[in-house]
């Protein structure tokens, strides 16, 4: 039988290998906050009478500057597909004024029309400070609330297994692994493709949290079941390993079916959900990995209290480390 | 035993028939209920604004303001519009499918204070923001001084360049305050009548008739009789609308405001007719999506959904064969019921909402995958088909229950969190995902199970090939 448990420190190393670059990027560049969380306005303008090659970010930025929006960040985009495709520009500016946003909007569109002929405002979002501050607060509450609620539920669900709290804690650690990986990934994607942290990103993150725990529960459920029917001489390591092998086909199949739907969304779901689906894909892959190769392995680490040995090595003095 | 399965099957068929009927309901009505699918602003286009009162107001004043805005929204003729209070000093307005969002919002939040001012014989350019005795400190002058406005009002002040990062929030004290002849509160809203459309008297002329009462009426009459052939400026919410020359005395304080476009006439009519707002509102946040972008999103999501379901169905068929076929039937039923529920509740579908639904297909399939994996295990151990089906379900149940619960917990938290304005799109996602989890329990546990039980007596179901297995000792060949 394949021994997955024995290689546990290799699995942890692999996780670190994937998480560390994201963490470095996070430290260096941080996250690019979208208007939902930092406030500001996002204009999606389409140019009916122009080709993409005729558009120039500097010229568009200058038009915004002249109409009262200095420091506009312009990104040339393409919206729609096939015959209805139009070149467009995504422009990030400060928020619209509270007292006369309509006049500002008209001024910008008029100036753009003068330069580029007919333009259409595909969407315009403006978020004020109080709203973005509220979103930040509720985002933090939502993530922490979800973690606590799941920890409580798992402890109750696994109350008959020995050490029920361990299952909850290990599931949460595996989930934090996924959160760390996704946030690090978002930081890298922010630098590379300009991905921004918006309300949709947060939705994706919370979905990943729930799917990660979902996956972990399926593995833990097997462990719980196998613990009850434990044969004499069967070690905890064997049970965990056996449980992982038993649930592996299910883990792979579920991952595949979710992957199919997500890839369909990625390819055909349009640009509005592209980043959302990308983040979900990364997170769900990570979620399946962490439930098999982190959560279950951590149970084994906890069972043997292996961290006592880590500190023995680290100290380098006193009693020699026994491996 | 068999009776129970047949009963379940009948139940499932009824649910399926009702769902399909609602999905394709002729005229989108079911038992007298409107079951048209509701699309969110991001899918059908429209605008959503969060209005914030400039000063703190008590609950009652906010309710009055909400009422006025509601009447103005109705005047715009937008269906399915939403006006709701949010927190102590804010109002959320949603206008789906509105054609000119900027103008609509302008109409809604204009306080609607109509004043006639005495400019001492001076003509003011239309669009100029002025200080009046009714409101000497209009917000437009304090926060965002527009260059044209300041230049016209006071030639000594240089136009403020727009690039100045922080305009100083004070008003030039040298700016004149114009005395008003009439006060907005004396306007008789019943007298406000359209002079456009079918009630138009002359073509190419748009006007709104009005009448003042009380002191304002007598003051207006006196002023106009003394100032014939001199200009008098009409000011709406501190913005000069026009400065017509007085032709004759406005006896009894009634008259007409003429406009050059129908849109202007409609806006003025709407604001005067439905009363003045007791408060001025700032646009704190707004989201506007064009109808074309919305349509593109709908098309893209529908395509993605169909392709996603097809691939999942093919995978289930190839990998699990006969149980896969039954699961595919359950999945189609799941889709039909989902949409029927969306139409019945109704759930407003947003783009994240559709993504939530497509994702919930994954959950629905997962429950089946868990069951079938157990079923195969049992068959491999030599159980008979009947026993394997029952034990497969029993053993898969704890995992299905616990994992569904964790997803339900997160979707509940997402739902509560999504009530905050900035992230209101999330509610749709939380709702479709949460409903999906509950429904998938039904389809996996009731539908797939009943279908599997019904196949047990069939001889074809006793073939190991049907389960993609080489050997299953318990099957009766």
C-beta of residue A295 within 8 angstroms of C-beta of residue A172: no
Q: What one-character DSSP code corresponds to residue B134?
A: S
**b/e map A9-24, b = 16+ CB within 10 Å:** eebbeebeebbeebee
Cβ-nearest to B362 among A65, A96, A257: A257
Whether residue B298 is found in the same domain as residue B157:
no
CATH number for the domain spanning B366: value is: 1.20.1640.10
Instruction: Say which residue the tokens 């602003």 belong to.
Output: B41
Assigned domain for B49 exists: no
Nearest CA in chain A to B315: A257
pLDDT (0 to 100) of residue A241: 92
Whether residue B323 is found in the same domain as residue B393:
yes
Whether residue B117 is found in the same domain as residue B180:
yes
Residue A159 is encoded by which pair of tokens? 């109350």
- Separation between Cα atoms, residue B177 and residue B59, nearest integer Å: 32
Number of domains in chain B: 2
| pLDDT mean across residues, chain A | 84
Which of B263, B281, B312 is the last residue in one of the domains?
B263
Whether residue B297 is found in the same domain as residue B259:
no
Give B407→chain A minimum CA distance, Å.
5
Chain-centroid distance, C-alpha A118: 38
Instruction: Say which residue the tokens 């109808």 belong to.
Output: B291
pLDDT (0 to 100) of residue B154: 43
Which of B245, B263, B281 is the last residue in one of the domains?
B263
CA nearest neighbour of B353 among B297, B313, B306? B297
Assigned domain for B22 exists: yes
- Separation between Cα atoms, residue B354 and residue B340, nearest integer Å: 14
Cβ-nearest to B283 among A36, A101, A273: A101
Q: In this complex, is the C-beta atom of B245 within 8 Å of any C-beta atom belonging to chain A? A: no
Chain-centroid distance, C-alpha B151: 40
Whether residue B297 is found in the same domain as residue B396:
yes
Whether residue B170 is found in the same domain as residue B308:
no
- Separation between Cα atoms, residue A60 and residue B23, nearest integer Å: 46
Mutate to test the interface with B, among A105, A218, A225, A275 (most CBs of B within 10 A): A218
- A–B interface: beta-carbon pairs under 8 A: 251
Q: Hey, is A46 helix, strand or coil?
A: strand
Give B355→chain A minimum CA distance, Å.
8
Mean pLDDT in consecutive groups of 10 residues from the start of chain B, 477 residues = 82 92 80 79 85 84 86 79 84 84 81 80 82 72 44 43 45 77 77 74 74 85 85 82 80 81 80 77 86 80 86 88 88 91 86 80 82 87 89 88 84 78 71 90 86 86 82 73
Q: In this complex, is the C-beta atom of B317 within 8 Å of any C-beta atom belonging to chain A? A: no
CA nearest neighbour of B60 among B96, B23, B32, B85? B85
Whether residue B175 is found in the same domain as residue B224:
yes
Whether residue B256 is found in the same domain as residue B307:
no
Assigned domain for B254 exists: yes
Range of the domain at B17: 2-37+290-467
- Separation between Cα atoms, residue A70 and residue A81, nearest integer Å: 32
Chain-centroid distance, C-alpha B318: 42
Whether residue B246 is found in the same domain as residue B322:
no
Res. A177: pLDDT tops 80: yes
Whether residue B455 is found in the same domain as residue B413:
yes
Q: Tell me the C-alpha to C-alpha distance, in Å, between residue B163 and each of A39, A66, A67, A129, B283.
A: 20, 8, 9, 21, 22
Whether residue B122 is found in the same domain as residue B222:
yes
Which of B246, B263, B280 is the last residue in one of the domains?
B263
Q: In this complex, is the C-beta atom of B415 within 8 Å of any C-beta atom belonging to chain A? A: no
Confidence of residue A315 (pLDDT cuts 50, 70, 90): very low
Assigned domain for B106 exists: no
Overall pTM > 0.80: no
CA nearest neighbour of B316 among B299, B305, B334, B329? B329
Chain-centroid distance, C-alpha A198: 11
Whether residue B447 is found in the same domain as residue B302:
yes
pLDDT (0 to 100) of residue B272: 78
The DSSP bridge pattern shows strands B33-34 and B281-289 to be unpaired
C-beta of residue B393 within 8 angstroms of C-beta of residue B372: no
The verdict on a CB contact (< 8 Å) between B402 and A276 is no
The verdict on a CB contact (< 8 Å) between B312 and A260 is yes
Give A-chain residues touching B373 at CB under 8 angstroms: 247, 249-250, 253
Assigned domain for B177 exists: yes
Q: What is the largest CA-CA distance in chain B?
A: 111
Assigned domain for B43 exists: no
Give A302→chain B minimum CA distance, Å.
23
Cis peptide before A276 (omega within 30 of 0): no
Phi, psi at residue A88, to the nearest 5°?
A: -145, 175
Strand partners, B84: B92
- Separation between Cα atoms, residue A166 and residue A179, nearest integer Å: 20
Q: Hey, is A75 helix, strand or coil?
A: strand
pLDDT (0 to 100) of residue B163: 43
The verdict on a CB contact (< 8 Å) between A225 and B300 is no
* Domains, chain A, ordered by start: 8-34+131-313 (1.20.1640.10), 40-127 (3.30.70.3220)
The verdict on a CB contact (< 8 Å) between B369 and A254 is yes
Assigned domain for B335 exists: yes
pLDDT (0 to 100) of residue B424: 65
Assigned domain for B72 exists: no
Q: Hey, is B258 helix, strand or coil?
A: strand
Give A82→chain B minimum CA distance, Å.
11
Instruction: Say which residue the tokens 């704890």 belong to.
Output: B398
- Separation between Cα atoms, residue B460 and residue B477, nearest integer Å: 9
- Separation between Cα atoms, residue A215 and residue A209, nearest integer Å: 10
- Separation between Cα atoms, residue B42 and residue B295, nearest integer Å: 9
Confidence of residue A6 (pLDDT cuts 50, 70, 90): confident
Residue A17 is encoded by which pair of tokens? 């290998």
C-beta of residue A72 within 8 angstroms of C-beta of residue B163: no
Q: Hey, is A14 helix, strand or coil?
A: helix
User: How would you write B53-98 as a 3-class SS string?
Assistant: ECCCCCHHHHHHHHHHHHHHHHHHCCCCCEEEEECCCEEEEEEECC
């Amino acid at each position: 039988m394949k021994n997955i448990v024995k290689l546990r420190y290799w699995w942890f190393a692999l996780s670190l290998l994937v998480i560390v670059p994201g963490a470095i990027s996070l430290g260096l560049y941080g996250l690019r906050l979208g208007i939902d969380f930092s406030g500001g306005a996002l204009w999606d303008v389409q140019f009916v009478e122009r080709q993409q090659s005729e558009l120039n970010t500097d010229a568009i930025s200058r038009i915004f500057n002249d109409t009262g929006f200095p420091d506009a960040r312009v990104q040339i985009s393409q919206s729609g597909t096939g015959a209805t495709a139009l070149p467009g520009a995504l422009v990030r500016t400060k928020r619209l004024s509270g007292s006369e946003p309509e006049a500002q909007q008209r001024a910008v569109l008029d100036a753009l029309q003068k330069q580029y002929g007919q333009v259409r405002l595909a969407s315009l979002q403006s978020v004020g400070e109080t709203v973005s501050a509220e979103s930040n607060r509720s985002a933090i509450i939502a993530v922490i609330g979800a973690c606590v609620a799941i920890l409580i539920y798992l402890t109750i669900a696994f109350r008959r297994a020995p050490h029920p709290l361990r299952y909850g804690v290990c599931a949460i650690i595996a989930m934090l692994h996924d959160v760390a990986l996704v946030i690090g990934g978002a930081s890298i994607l922010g630098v590379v493709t300009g991905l921004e942290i918006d309300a949709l990103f947060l939705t994706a993150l919370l979905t990943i949290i729930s799917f990660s725990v979902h996956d972990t529960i399926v593995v833990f459920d097997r462990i719980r079941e196998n613990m009850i029917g434990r044969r004499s001489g069967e070690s905890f390591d064997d049970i965990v390993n056996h449980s992982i092998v038993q649930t592996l086909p299910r883990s792979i199949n579920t991952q595949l079916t979710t992957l199919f739907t997500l890839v369909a969304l990625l390819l055909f779901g349009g640009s509005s959900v592209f980043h959302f689906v990308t983040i979900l894909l990364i997170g769900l892959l990570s979620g399946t990995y962490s439930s098999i190769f982190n959560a279950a392995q951590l149970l084994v680490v906890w069972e043997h209290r292996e961290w006592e040995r880590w500190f023995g090595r680290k100290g380098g003095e006193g009693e020699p480390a026994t491996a | 035993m068999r009776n129970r399965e047949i009963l379940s099957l009948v139940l499932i068929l009824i649910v399926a028939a009702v769902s399909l009927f609602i999905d394709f309901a002729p005229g989108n009505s079911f038992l007298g209920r409107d079951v048209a699918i509701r699309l969110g602003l991001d899918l059908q286009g429209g605008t959503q604004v969060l209005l914030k009162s400039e000063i703190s107001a008590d609950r009652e004043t906010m309710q009055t303001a909400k009422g006025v805005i509601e009447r103005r929204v109705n005047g715009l003729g937008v269906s399915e519009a939403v006006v709701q209070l949010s927190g102590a000093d804010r109002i959320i307005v949603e206008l789906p499918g509105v054609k000119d969002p900027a103008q609509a919002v302008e109409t809604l939040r204009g306080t609607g204070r109509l004043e006639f001012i005495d400019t001492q014989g001076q003509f003011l350019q239309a669009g100029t923001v002025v200080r009046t005795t009714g409101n000497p400190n209009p917000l437009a002058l304090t926060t965002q001084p527009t260059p044209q406005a300041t230049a016209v009002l006071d030639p000594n002040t240089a136009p403020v360049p727009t690039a100045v990062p922080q305009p100083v929030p004070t008003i030039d004290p040298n700016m004149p305050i114009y005395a008003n002849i009439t006060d907005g509160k004396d306007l008789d809203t019943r007298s406000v009548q359209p002079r456009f459309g079918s009630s138009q008297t002359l073509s190419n002329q748009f006007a709104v008739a009005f009448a003042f009462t009380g002191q304002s009426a007598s003051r207006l009459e006196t002023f106009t009789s003394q100032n014939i052939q001199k200009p008098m400026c009409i000011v709406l919410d501190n913005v000069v609308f026009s400065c017509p020359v007085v032709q004759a005395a406005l006896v009894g304080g009634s008259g007409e405001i003429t406009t050059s476009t129908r849109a202007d006439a409609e806006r003025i009519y709407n604001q005067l007719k439905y009363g003045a707002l007791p408060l001025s509102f700032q646009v704190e946040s707004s989201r506007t999506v064009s109808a074309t972008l919305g349509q593109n999103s709908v098309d893209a999501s529908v395509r993605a959904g169909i392709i996603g379901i097809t691939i999942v169905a093919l995978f289930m068929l190839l990998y699990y064969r006969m149980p896969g076929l039954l699961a595919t039937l359950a999945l189609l039923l799941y889709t039909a019921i989902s949409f029927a529920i969306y139409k019945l509740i109704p759930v407003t579908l947003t783009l994240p909402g559709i993504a939530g639904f497509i994702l919930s297909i994954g959950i629905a399939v997962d429950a089946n995958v868990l069951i079938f994996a157990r079923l195969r295990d049992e068959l491999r151990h030599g159980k008979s088909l009947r026993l394997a089906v029952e034990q497969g379900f029993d053993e898969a149940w704890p995992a299905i229950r616990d994992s569904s619960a964790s997803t339900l917990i997160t979707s509940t938290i997402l739902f509560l969190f999504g009530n905050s304005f900035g992230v209101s799109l999330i509610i749709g996602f939380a709702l479709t995902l949460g409903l999906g989890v509950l429904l998938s329990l039904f389809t996996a546990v009731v539908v797939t199970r009943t279908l599997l039980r019904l196949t047990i007596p069939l001889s074809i179901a006793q073939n190991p090939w049907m389960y993609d297995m080489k050997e299953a000792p318990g099957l009766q060949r």
